[in-house]
Amino acid sequence: MPDPIPLKDHEKETRLVNKRLIACALFVAILSCCLVARMYFLQVTEFAYHSTISENNRVHVLPITPERGLIFDRNGVVLADNRPSFNLTLTRERAGDWRRVIDELMELLKLPDEDRILFDKDLKQARHPFEPVTLLYELTEEQIAVLAVNQFLLPGIEVEPQFVRHYPLGAHFAHSIGYVGRINEKESKQLDSVDYRGTQSIGKTGIERFYESELHGHVGYEEVETNAQGRVLRVLKHTDPTAGKNITLSLDIHLQEAAEEALGDRRGSVVALDPETGEVLAMVSKPSFDPNLFVTGISFKEYAALRDSIDRPLFNRVLRGLYAPGSTIKPEVAIAGLDSGVVNASTRVFDPGYFQLPDFDHKYRNWNHSGDGWVDLDAAIMRSNDTYFYTLAHKLGIDRMHDYMTMFGLGQKVSLDMFEEAAGLMPSREWKRATRRQAWFPGETVILGIGQGYMQVTPLQLAQATSLIANKGVWVRPHLAMTVGNVAPVDEHPMPNIVLHDPSEWNQVNEGMQMVMHDPRGIARAAALGAQYRIAGKSGTAQVVAIKQGERYNRLKTLERNRDNALFVGFAPAAHPKIVVSVMIENGEAGGRVAGPVVRQILDAWLLDKDGKLKAQYAPQAKPEVPHV
């Protein structure tokens, strides 16, 4: 007989169902409260934040890069301008997987592997993912067509017209103007992130770097409405950028070309100054290079060729080249001797062909080994007599030598707007004690008298020291910019003028320098033959390697790059100088014979007209006739 079926407890089931209903109701109520709270948080508390994000999904602020200021020479010739170019940009925010997009780009345009390295580096350095980054410059028509056909494979890629820096005269002014290049990671961290939004390049050297803030200008903006694909639908607001200031340099294209022609293919430098204003009229460093190579990014191969060249075309010899000045500083040493009272115009020294310190056997040789006999100051400058200046330096001593040479700007930066300039070295007791941990020796003072030893100067410093001789001690810093915008640069830290006890001593040294060029026994008389104006000059020949005591310099036994450097400084017209020139030729051997003619060519190019006649403004003024009584 089957078991009876148990009766259901309806009351118990009812209670169970009610509990479940209550639990579900509570669960639903809690979820509803959570949803309401979340909606309140999003719609009320976070309204401003999310409305901004929503607006940003629709509205983008795009930077408008300012046009870089132009650079002109003193005649209005354009030395640096901006050339229109079609460039390729990529915006990471719109590209999605930007590495895949780069892969597609490399394949479509068949670009070299080194470009991929540069692309990755530039994109990682970008300050904002929504800013376009320029990857390729100056696209060809074929490249533009390929990109247009394959646009669907390249999200975030755009072809945009932009201005690219251009140097029409190429290598002629590479070391003075400098060049712009792509902003690197270090520079990116230092720049104003607002003012440099959208800017891909910055001044790297020369005037481009020194006046970067003035040349760059100020960024503009566009607020644009975009769709979901990032396409611009309309412009909501436009703020024009402020173009950079134009700069007019004191350089003269005609004199620059004349200086380059005079220097030829030799390694060296030329600096020409106006002594009254400090304006740099010409500035040549050879060999040079084409700055256009650096504007949009130079290839590894091209850069390696410039960097590793034995002739160092990237090296600015005018500002960074450190050389022994040789006899070119003898006029400054003469001023030191006259002003300190150690010698006067009639002081004579007997030259047997050498100088010896008291109680020492070592002979400091004159370049003329047979000697010049009795020489006074004029003859010593005219003949570049080493023995006279050995004696004078010994009498002055290192302390006075250092003080006077420093007043002439030797061993310190002298320019107003050339940031690359090296300070050089004017040694002293304190310097040697600090760097060599040795005492100063008398023989070291002796050789300083002829510009040898520890002393190192730049060609620009030599030009400035000579300018002070021409300008009778009035200090005007050399500068390249005549006007920035419409404003002339101001020297905020002027150097004190050199004031002599007897101002006529300037004329005394000037006369000696004229004898170098125009006296029949002058050391550089050949360079002044046929000149229509008076030249004051001084040659210099500086050793590159030391020669043992008793030996003579033999060019045939000396490697070409170990031969003496040839230097020459001069100014003209001697009575009222309008131009100062400093020339340095590496391993040129003879200052008077090799560098002297270069100075003469440059002086002629500035002072003579097209017919070879002295320009009227440089002709000596006729004295008015005194009427007879």
Structure token pair of residue 175: 């070391």
Q: What's the rounded Cα separation, in Å, for the pair 602 and 581? A: 8
CB-based contact 224:94 (threshold 8 Å): no
Return all residues near 268 (Cβ < 8 A) that are at least 6 apart.
286, 317, 583, 584, 585, 586, 588
**Residue 391: its H or E element:** helix 386-407
Beta-ladder partners of 323: 457
Tell me how long the chain is: 629
407, containing H or E segment: helix 386-407
Residue located via tokens 């008015």? 624
Q: Please, which residues have CB within 8 angstroms of residue 509's CB and are 6 or more apart in sequence?
A: 331, 334, 335, 338, 381, 469
What is the Cα–Cα distance from 399 to 444, expressed in whole angstroms? Answer: 12
Q: Could you confirm whether 201 is annotated as catalytic?
A: no
**Dihedral angle of Cα 520, 609, 598, 333, to the nearest 10 degrees:** 60
- In terms of phi and psi (left: phi > 0; alpha: psi -120 to 50; beta: otherwise), the region of 600 is alpha
Rounded to an integer, what distance in angstroms lies between the CA atom of residue 40 and that of residue 450? 88
| Cβ neighbours for 108, distance < 8 A, ≥ 6 positions apart | 146, 147, 150, 153, 154
The amino acid that residue 556 corresponds to is L
* The one-letter amino acid at 565: N
Cis amide prior to 63 (ω within 30 degrees): no
Buried b (16+ CB within 10 A) or exposed e, 508-517: bbbbbbbbbb
Give the pairing type, strands 157-166 and 354-355.
Answer: unpaired
Q: Evaluate the CA torsion angle 8, 10, 12, 15 in order and state its sign.
A: positive
Three-state SS for 235-257 is EEEEECCECCCCEEECCCHHHHH
**Amino acid type, 123:** L
Alpha-carbon distances, residue 83 vs 25, 161, 165, 166 (angstroms): 74, 10, 6, 6
- Give just the sign of the alpha carbon dihedral 386, 388, 391, 395: negative
Nearest 5°: CA angle at 263, between 259 and 269?
Answer: 80
What values do phi and psi take at 143, rounded to 5?
-65, -40
Burial (Cβ within 10 Å: 0-12, 13-18, ≥19) of residue 450: buried
Q: Which of 85, 327, 384, 428 is catalytic?
A: 327
The packing angle between helices 98-109 and 141-149, to 10°, is 130
For residues 52-80, one letter each, b for 16 or more C-beta atoms within 10 angstroms of the residue's C-beta and e for the rest, the string is eeeeeeeebebbebbebbbbbbbeebebb
- Rounded Cα gap, residues 232 and 255, in angstroms: 52
Catalytic residues: 327
